Structure 1
Amino acid sequence: MKKFCKFNTDMYWNKFLETFLIGAKCYVFFWLLLSIFRLIFVIDMHSYMSKIVTFGDIKNAFILGMQMSMQTVGILTLVSLSVYILVSVINKKWSKYALNTVIVIQILVLSTLFIARFPFYRIYHSGFNRMLFTAVHEDWQALFWTFMDEFNLPVRLLGVLLLIIIAFYLWRKFLNWNIKEKLPAKYFPLRWRGKIVLILAVYLIARLSLFSGSWSWQTQIDWENSAITKDNFLNEAILDDGQALYRAYCLEKRNTGSNGLSYTANQVRHYAQYLSGKNNESSNLDYYLEKKAQGAKIQKPKHIFLIISESYANWPLLPEYADLHLADGIKSLTTEQNTAYCSEFLPNGSSTVNALMGIVTNFADANLYLTTMVNQMKEPYSTATAPQMKRLGYKTNFYYAGPSSWENIQNFTLAQGFDKFYSRSDIHETTKGSVWGADDKDLYSLVEDATDDSSSFNVILNVSNHSPFEVDLKANGFDSQMVKNALPEKYRSDDELLKELGHFYYADKMMRQFIDKMKQRYPDSLFIIIGDHADRYNIEKAPTTYKRYAIPFIINGQGIDKNILSANAVGSQIDVIPTLMELIAPKNFTYYSVGKSLTEHNNIAANYAFWLTNGYMGRTDAPQFMPDNFSKDKKIPQQKDVMQYANAIRAVSWWRAQHGGNLPIQQYRTAAKTN
């Protein structure tokens, strides 16, 4: 009986080993194939590389590319093995035929994509992107002849066929290579050590494939943060064709799948009239978005620095958290006479990209991913920040601590009129940073070095206060024991919370140091501070809506005083640029915005999920209107007022981004007659 059990056990282990070896061969084969494709692409298309590229850049791009391809290879191998195992169960004789059939199909797909990559890059200067999906709406006959005449389709198809033949021939050689014959017979059947090694090998390959060559999601690199060089061509070469297709799919899904709004021209005009107070009938939406500055309230600053600080929530600035000393830098700034502070302020949405879109375009969050629509942007929107600041005489710069590929941020900001864009590849990093970007200290150093005597408007987007939290807190002066002692007792053993609080402290400290340095060099500078969003962490497990989602809005500079904003001001990120315009623009200067200056009476703010008034906050998407009071003795808002404002900023922003400035007047009149 023992021998029989032993025989069966060995038999199953041998089957497991055989399947593993086939899977390993698939894995190595596809990994090498994609790496060879990447090498050929870089060599053949090297003329697209900029002159600043070094051998180190190329080497780093190849290493990261091979690392990222482990996920693509893992998927290809999983598909191949699944078919092989399934057919083996049904009929062992046909298992290798099924395996080879799947391999041929996969080689066909990879070869076709590889051959297509060359003309695609020449046209779009990009690997596969959303333009693939626009072909669905094109004239297919015209496309066919374009491929024939312009891209030598027959020759390229011949190239695909040749690649398939060569690759499959090499695969067959590789598959038939008997690894077990190269190993001493004493290792078979597997002993317990061999079984452990086999299991660990499967686990290692699976984990590295799952996280694109990284050990966990905290260090994982994907298409959004893979642009590690200063060269766009190399950054695109990092992505294999499978990764590039996935990027295209994600961007298209964001652009089409999340857009749940729809308004008629008549409805948009009605909302635009409400927001602007203009009752005249116009077919031009920009007529309603146009504003005339009331006249500068402060002397025009030499430099303006608008800091969008990652996860910089308002709650650490509240008096009840003073003992934690997390926000001492900016909190002390708010006590200075030349600082205005609005504590009742909303982000434009729940993510950094919402803040990015709001500050760059001045549109409210209308559930549109504008960063994916760059190819449709013939010119900046009328409300775009950069062109309007340039009309005031400023050079416009955008500084981002992360890679230029994140959310298409470089192409988006430049398409919306910024003169220069800086990203992680421009930063001299003195610390390791994180997967999301360089540490705040190094980002601010870049801004300091790049700022000269020319008048400038600078948007700065940092990332350090974002998981995974990897800043050396002790080296940056964070007193963890003091903070732990100041926490309620039930939270003192939460080390993860302590690390999160430490990173808020770091972001606050670096921001204040930067402000102090720039004020010494340029005393007439103006600083605007906002968080990109909140809602990432709080001390309480169930904080109030206000504590969880509110961010600060702070303005500091010469001529600013505590009363420069309206009493009990309430706002959101779409109100930042209108406020700036009313502070510095000369009388009757024309500007465009959806939002409103906080120097005027403004008592409602909203984003896609929340509304905020003076003393109350609630959800715009809740079935019932349930105001959450966070300040005593405030008047409860009316639901119709809150929702009218929320719908108005969405409708106007959605129409202007989707359809431009034209509001068909005939549609309005027809609707009016019908009603």
Structure 2
Amino acid sequence: MTRWERFWLNCQQDLKLYTFIWMLLMFFRIAFIALLPQYISPGITWVDIATSIYYGGRISLKSAGIAALLSFIFCTLINVIRPSLRTERLRRIIGYTFIFTLTLLFAARLPYYKQFHTVFSPLIFNTFRDDVQAIISTLVKEYDLIPRLAAAIAGAVGGCWLLAWWLNTRNLPVPRFTNRWLRRGFRTVVVLAIAWFMVFARFGGSLGYAGSVHWHNAAVTRDEFLNEAVLDDVQALYRAWSMHKMLAQATALNLTATRVANYAANLTGKQPVTANLDDYLRKEADGALIPRPRHIFLIVGESYAAWPLLPEYDNLHIADGLKNIAARDNAACASAFVPAGHGTMSSLGSLITGLAEVNLYPNYQPETYRQQYPTALAVQMKRLGYKTYFWYGGFPSWQRIRDFALAQGFDAFYGAGDIGQAPGNAWGIEDKFLFEAIERIWDGSEPSFHLILTISNHPPYTVDLAKEGFSPSILPETFRQDKAWLAKLGHFWYADKVLADFVDAMYRRYPDSLFAITGDHADRMNIEPNPPLFVRYAVPLVLYGQGIHKNILPQTAYGSHLDIAPTLIELIAPRGFVYYSLGRSLTHGAGIGIGSDLWVTYDYIGRISTNATEHTPYYRPGAVPPDKAELKATVDAVQAVSWWRVKMGSGL
């Protein structure tokens, strides 16, 4: 057999592998849409679905091309150069590897989308910094990891058998020409056709970048779910990695010291005349608005979303505890409030440091352990005369949380391992026992500030709800018959109940206290498959305690986690007290609440990454959204200053 004949036959095998992987990706795309039809928005037609599948097919030309390129380089070319080397087995190994990988990713895609309403976000790259054992335990208990894995492996084995059969089908013999020029012309056409096909596949059904399909322009339909279906799992992972890398390096902002100084100056209204970034964040308190509280409690509820507090969900009765507190005369609420990030650590990092979430994970950054950020919440509370405590229902080693908290100003840290034996799961102890431990361990003898992070409203759902007094009869009939919904809604009810019980107990015991209650993030549980942005992402902020009244915040108050520290400081600090903040006090009125990918005002909420804009439940007819240019300038400034402070320090 000549080298050309080997090349001809090997190229057909590469093409077979390519078509098989492409068809597998298409099968998974159609299965994704078919298995989760509840996430398709009302009004969507078959035209939208066909559009998603069509553009998905184009983008999958790229993904399948990876397998074909590996086969072409390591099988076809090597076999042509070294005919003695048998490479068909290697081609099958490449194909089998892709089949197993894609099948396992598809098995993960379905529960991932149900949980996060996206297909593989940048958060996955923090997974192995997380408590891997707890994650695996959650996957086993809550997401049926074992049967899902078994089904995926069985499906992959079947796919490998089909691929082996497909690769064994007959190839076309090489055309033979007696005329030398015809023979050379044919070979030239074949080589050019291969080059053309490589370019065509590389650009997703186009011959240039301008007409290509890629993750940046994959939102081709009117429906968010169908737009996610456009991306196969290879492209979704590439998108997640690209976003993770972009945020980590801040390449989109093109940062220089001068540029950061200008950002900080524009954000704070100061002149760019100092080489110390912290100078721009310096503020002075207007003077205390309430009597100085002896104790301050900032309670961060795991997955405590704002939507159960809205009137349209009153029939669920899962947030009655916090609603009762918020309704009292000595309570005030932010109407529209968004978290700093989409995960616990991303939001917590912002709450602790006072800096925006820009995907840097300050709990792992050297600067965090070299010095305390002047914007750090505990640092400023200590300057106000409070001893600072961090209470966590989980384990101190998770995400280096103990080291992180102590490095950034907390005097004492207590986690599940410090509290002793108590019911719980792989993530830590149940909320009730965390709150009981606080009452037992802390003696209240000196002014104190407490940041309390709960864990129970998180899968795996293991609280004995019946023992805790939960009755399914409080829920509408639809949810009483569904064990999964009973567990989800019941654990929200439990987390809300024990939180409210703790606040009431502490307030009776220490009536000169101030409480601030929020959630670390939402976007984990919604009873609608396609909730609006506010319902999906917003978290509450409730202030309660001595001196608080309904008018202490504007009725249109809104913001984000960045605004909690300055709000607390402006409530209690004497006039002229110097503090440092990237956010603004909610007592000061209008601004823009900024999260990692969200912004909010009283009337509007939007995504930073996609420019999507929607009304909040408080929308007033005639209200206009923020100017896009001003919004972008604010977001860029907040992110740039935060990135520089964590990565480069205070020097400009």
Contact 2:604 2:613 in 1 (8 A): no
Deviates more, 1:545-554 or 1:472-481: 472-481
Q: Aligned partners of 1:253, 1:416: CA distance in 2, in Å?
A: 30
Correspondence 1:443 to 2:458 = no
Aligned CA distance change for structure 1 residues 540 and 210 (closer, same or farther; 3 Å): closer
State whether residues 317 and 474 of structure 2, in contact with CA within 8 Å, keep that contact through their aligned partners in structure 1.
Answer: no
> What's the CA shift for 1:507?
0.6
**CA distance change for structure 1 residues 483 and 217 in 2, over 3 Å: closer, same or farther?**
closer
Q: What do residues 409-458 of structure 1 show as CA deviations (whole Å, max 9, x unaligned)? A: 01111111111110001224442x12111000000011111222211100
Is 1:386 aligned to residue 386 of structure 2? no
1:238-257 deviations in Å (ceiling 9; x for gaps): xxxxxxxxxxxxxx999978
Q: Is the 8 A contact 1:571 1:598 kept in 2?
A: yes
Matches of 2:272 and 2:258 in 1, distance apart? 13
Which 5+ residue runs of structure 2 have no aligned equivalent?
1-84, 86-125, 127-132, 146-240
2:461 is the counterpart of 1:537 = no
Whether 1:346 aligns to 2:338 is yes
C-alpha displacement of 1:607? 1.6
Write the distance in 2 (CA, Å) between the matches of 1:210 and 1:301.
Answer: 38
Contact 2:315 2:476 in 1 (8 A): no
How big is the shift at 1:462?
0.5
Structure 1 residues 391 and 214, CA gap change in structure 2 (3 angstroms): closer
Q: Please state how far the C-alpha of 1:323 moved relative to its aligned partner.
A: 1.5
Relative to structure 2, which stretch is displaced further, 354-363 or 602-611? 602-611
Query: Aligned equivalents of 2:430 and 2:144: distance in 1?
Result: 18
Q: 1:595 to 1:380 in 2, by over 3 A?
A: same
Q: Give the letter aligned to residue 637 of structure 2.
A: A
Indicate yes or no: 2:270 matched with 1:270: no
1:597 to 585, 588, 596: 585
Residue-by-residue CA offset, 1:112-139 (whole Å, 9 max, x unaligned):
xxxxxxxxxxxxxxxxxx9xxxxxxxxx
Corresponding residue for residue 626 of structure 2 = 637
Query: Which residue pairs with 1:568 in the alignment?
Result: 556
The secondary structure found in structure 2 opposite 1:527 is strand
Runs of 4+ in 1 over 3 A off after TM superposition: 209-215, 217-221, 252-258, 491-494, 624-630
Aligned to 2:303: 311
Q: Cα distance 1:266–1:550, how it changes in 2: closer, same or farther (>3 A)? A: same
Give the C-alpha shift of residue 494 in structure 1: 3.2
Normalized against structure 2, the TM-score is what? Answer: 0.61
Closer, same or farther: CA 556–213 of 1 in aligned 2, 3 Å: closer
Instruction: Within 5 Å, give how 1:285-364 maps onto structure 2.
Output: 285-364=277-356
Assess, with a 3 A threshold, how the Cα gap between structure 1 residues 418 and 374 changes in structure 2: closer, same or farther. Answer: farther
Tell me which amino acid in the other structure corresponds to 1:480: P
Paired residue type of 1:435: A
Letter in 2 for 1:366: V
Residues 1:660 and 2:652 are matched in the alignment: no
Residue identity in the other structure for 2:632: M
Q: Distance in 1 between matches of 2:402 and 2:471?
A: 37
Give the superposition deviation at 1:218.
4.9
Report the alpha carbon displacement of residue 220 of structure 1 after superposing the two structures with TM. Answer: 12
1:259-310 Cα deviation digits (max 9, x unpaired): 0414112221122112211125211111110000110111111111100100
Identity of paired residues, percent? Answer: 44
Aligned to 1:520: 508
Q: Distance in 1 between matches of 2:582 and 2:547?
A: 26
Query: Is it true that 1:404 corresponds to 2:401 in the alignment?
Result: no
Output the amino acid matched with 1:319: P
- Where 2:536 maps in the other structure, the secondary structure is helix
TM-score (norm 1): 0.59
Q: 1:358, 1:364 within 8 Å by CA — same for their partners in 2?
A: yes
1:629, CA displacement in angstroms?
Answer: 5.0
**Residues 297 and 582, structure 1, Cα contact 8 Å, conserved in 2:** yes
How far is the alpha carbon of 1:211 from its aligned partner?
A: 9.0
Q: Say if 1:398 and 1:422, in contact at 8 Å, map to a contact too.
A: yes
On the 8 A contact 1:569/1:614 being kept in 2, the answer is: yes
Please give the alpha-carbon distance, in whole angstroms, between the structure 2 residues aligned to 1:598 and 1:629. 18
Distance 2:136 2:486 in 1: 29
Show the counterpart of 2:596.
608
Q: Residue 431 of structure 2 aligns to which amino acid in structure 1? A: D
Report the AA paired with residue 546 of structure 1.
Answer: F
Instruction: Give the corresponding residue for 2:571.
Output: 583
2-structure distance, mates of 1:642, 1:348: 17
Instruction: Quickly say closer, same or farther: Cα 1:214–1:567, change in 2 above 3 A.
Output: closer
User: 2:456 maps to what in 1?
Assistant: 464
Go from structure 1 to structure 2 and tell me whether the alpha carbon gap of 1:397 and 1:628 turns closer, same or farther (over 3 Å shift): same
